Structure 1
C-alpha cells in the first residue's frame, strides 16, 4: 500500500495543470533509542505497576512463574511482529498483515476494531491503576482524577508524535528507576527466593496450577504493548532495521525487570497482602521500612505513560481504517496539517477510554484486554505463516518457521483455556 490511500472523495477540484496537494501524512521522526524506550514504556506502563497485586492474588508464591509463562506466549508473537513490521511497514499493523495474507475485508475490519477495543480497554485499565496510586497523594473524587488525567493525555497525543515519544522516554526512565528501587529495597529478603520457589513447584496441586494459569492470563496483560510499536511504522526512520530490533529489545528488558520485581514483591509480602494492597509496590517498599512516597510519585508517571501509548496505538489504527475506508468513517483518517496527528481519532479514543475507566473494574478490564489481544495474536501468527509460504524478502528479518507456528498454538491454547476458566467461574472480576 502507498500513501495514495490518504486521498479523499469530496475535496475541491484543483486548477488545471497544477498537481493536487497531498493530504497531511505522518512524519518519520523516531530513531532506535526513542522507539525502544517508547515500546518499553508502553509495556511497563500497562504492566507490573498495575496488575502485580492481581497476579499475586491468583498465582500466590508462583507469581514469578506466572510472568515467565505469560512472557513465553508474548515473546513468540513478538518475534512474528518483528518480521511482519519489516515486511509491511504500515500504520495499520495487524490489519495490513491480515489484508496481505488473507485478503478478506471482513476479517481485516474485525481485527482493526478488536485492536481498537484492546487499546481503549487497556488504556482504561491503566487509568484505573493510576487512580489507585494517585489517591495516595491527591484528595480528589475518583471521577475527577480520571477526567483530568485522560484529557491531559489526549492533549499530549494531539500535540505531536515526537512530543509524545519524548514524554514517554522520560517517564520510562523514571519508571525503570522506580522498579530498580523496589528490587534494591527488597534485596535483603530475596536470599531464600530460589529455595522458596523450588518448594512451591515441588508441592504443586490442582488448585495451584489453576491459579498459575489464571495469574499468567493477568500477567500476560502486563506484556501487552510491544504490538503497539507496529502502529508507528510510518513514523520510524529506517523502519525495516529499527522496528524489529526495538521490539525484541523492549520485550527482553521487560521480562527481566518483571521477573526480578515479582520475586522481590513475593519475598517481602504474602501474596494475599499484595492482592489487598491499594498500591502493591509501594506497600512492598514500606514493609521494608523505606519511604513509599517517592515510588508512588514515580508510579504515577509510568502508569500514565502506558495509557498514552494505548491512546496513540488505537488512534493510529482508527486513522488507518478511516483513510482506507475499511470499517471506519473517513473523518477518522484525517491527519492535522500542523501537528501531523489524527486529531478526530484521538478525541474518539480518549472519550471511550474515559467512559470505560469510570464504569468497569480493573480485573474485568485486564481479562477482557488479554482475551482480545490473544485472538489478534492468533491472526498475526497465522498471517506470517501464510506470507512466509509465498516467499522470503531478503531485506527483512527471517524468523524460523516454527516461531509463528508455536506462537499460533500457544496463543490459541491460552485463549481457549481462558474461555474455559471464564465459563466455569475461574476468572474473577
Structure 2
C-alpha cells in the first residue's frame, strides 16, 4: 500500500484492554452522572433510581448487541457497517452513519455545556470563553492521537471515580435513606416533579401522570449510558479487537451502572431534590448540603466531564471519516488520515467547530433529549441487524450473545421511542 493509501485508509492499532475500559467508563460517566443527573431528578423525582434501572435495561441489551457486532464487524464506522451488512442496504448504513455522527456531535456539545456549568460553580469567567477554550483544547487532543486520548482519559477517569466515591461517603446517610424514599414513591404509584420533590406527593396523582414523569426521566437517563456505543468507533485502533472490544464494553458498562444507581439513590435520600435538581452542578450542591466542601468535587468532576466530550468528538470524527471514505455524502477531504498523528485531522476539525457552535447556542436539556432520540433509533437498527445476521451464521471467533438479547433490545428501544413520541404528542412534551 502506498503512503497516500495509508493516509486515506488506515488507523493505528495502539489501544489495549484497560485503556479502552477507562476510555469507555470516562465517556459514559462524563455524559451521565455529572451532567444529566439534575435533569433526570427534575423529571422522575424520588423514582430517579428506578428511571436509571429502566434506562440500564434498555441500554444493556443494546450494549450486548454492540459487543457482538463490534467483534463481527470491527470497523471505525460501527453502526454504518452493521446496518449495511445486516440488511444488505447501503442507504441504511449511510442513514445510520449520519444520524449517529449527529448524535455524537450533539452529545459532545451537551457535555461541554455541563462542563461550563461545573466550572462556573467556582470561577467567575464568561461561559462563552470557557466553552471556546475547552472545545479547542479537546479538538487538539483528539487530533494528537487515539493512544494519547485513551491514556489521558485513563488518568482523568481515575480522578473522577475518586470524586464519586467521595460523594458517596459524604452522602452515606442519604444513601441509607434512599431506598425508603424510592419505596415510598413506588407505593404511592407516583414520582415527584421538582416542585414537589422532598415533600409528600398528592396521593391522588394520576397513574398516567406518574408514569409520564418516570418515563421522561428514564428517557433522559438512557443518555447516561450511550458511551458504550462510542467504543465501537475505536475498533480499527484496538489491539486484538475481537476479544478486547466486547470485554471492554461489558466492564465499562458494569462500572458505571453501579455508580449511577448508588449516586441516584443517595441524591433521592437527601430529601433535597428541588435544590439539587436546579443546581448547575448537582453533585457539588449535594455534598455542600451535607456540610462538605464542594470545590474538590467540582474540580475532580471537570476531569470526567472532559473525558465524555473528548470521546464524543473522537467517535464523531471517526464516523465522518468512514462516511467520507465510503462515499456516503461527505467530501473526500474528511477521509484523509495524517501520517504523523494517525488521526483524521480534517474530520476532527470539522466536528470540533460544530460542537463549539452547538455548545454556545443550544440549551442542555434540549441537547440531551435530541441525542437520546437519535441514539435509540440507531440502537434499534443495530439490534435488528444482529438478529438478521445471527439467523444466517454465527462465527466461532466472536461472542455468541443469546438470540433473545437483540430481540429484547429491539423491543425495548422501539417501545421507548414510541413512548417518547406519545409523550410529545399526547402530553405536550
- The Cα shift of 1:321 comes to 1.1
The alignment yields a C-alpha RMSD, in angstroms, of 1.2
- The Cα shift of 1:21 comes to 5.6
Kindly report which structure 2 residues correspond to 1:35-74, keeping only aligned pairs within 5 A, or say none.
35-74=20-59
CA contact (8 A) 1:119 1:313 kept: yes
Kindly report which structure 2 residues correspond to 1:46-195, keeping only aligned pairs within 5 A, or say none.
46-195=31-180
CA contact (8 A) 1:269 1:284 kept: no
In structure 2, the partner of 1:10 is none
Cα separation, 2, equivalents of 1:208 and 1:178: 33
Q: Secondary structure at the match of 1:138?
A: coil
Cα separation, 1, equivalents of 2:152 and 2:112: 17
Kindly report which structure 2 residues correspond to 1:24-423, keeping only aligned pairs within 5 A, or say none.
24=7, 25-205=10-190, 206=207, 207-423=209-425
Cα separation, 2, equivalents of 1:53 and 1:22: 47
Q: Secondary structure at the match of 2:124?
A: coil
Cα separation, 2, equivalents of 1:375 and 1:333: 26
CA contact (8 A) 1:121 1:356 kept: yes
- The Cα shift of 1:118 comes to 0.5
Which piece of structure 1 moves more, 326-335 or 266-275? 266-275
CA contact (8 A) 1:37 1:172 kept: yes
After TM superposition, the score normalised by the length of structure 2 is 0.93
In structure 2, the partner of 1:23 is 6
Cα separation, 2, equivalents of 1:38 and 1:400: 27
- The Cα shift of 1:421 comes to 1.1
- The Cα shift of 1:136 comes to 1.9
- The Cα shift of 1:296 comes to 0.2
After TM superposition, the score normalised by the length of structure 1 is 0.93
CA contact (8 A) 1:377 1:408 kept: yes
Deviation track 1:395-416 (CA, whole Å, cap 9, x = no partner) reads 1000000000000000000011
Q: Secondary structure at the match of 2:225?
A: coil
Q: Which runs of structure 1 show a deviation greater than 6 angstroms over 4 or more consecutive aligned residues?
A: none
Which runs of 5 or more structure 2 residues have no equivalent in the other structure?
191-206
- The Cα shift of 1:103 comes to 2.1
- The Cα shift of 1:194 comes to 2.4
Which piece of structure 1 moves more, 297-306 or 192-201? 192-201
CA contact (8 A) 2:181 2:268 kept: no
Q: Secondary structure at the match of 1:60?
A: helix
- The Cα shift of 1:208 comes to 2.2
CA contact (8 A) 1:39 1:247 kept: yes
Number of residue-to-residue matches in the alignment: 410
In structure 2, the partner of 1:15 is none
Cα separation, 1, equivalents of 2:421 and 2:181: 31
Cα separation, 2, equivalents of 1:20 and 1:295: 47
- The Cα shift of 1:139 comes to 2.1
Cα separation, 1, equivalents of 2:152 and 2:50: 32
Which piece of structure 1 moves more, 200-209 or 373-382? 200-209
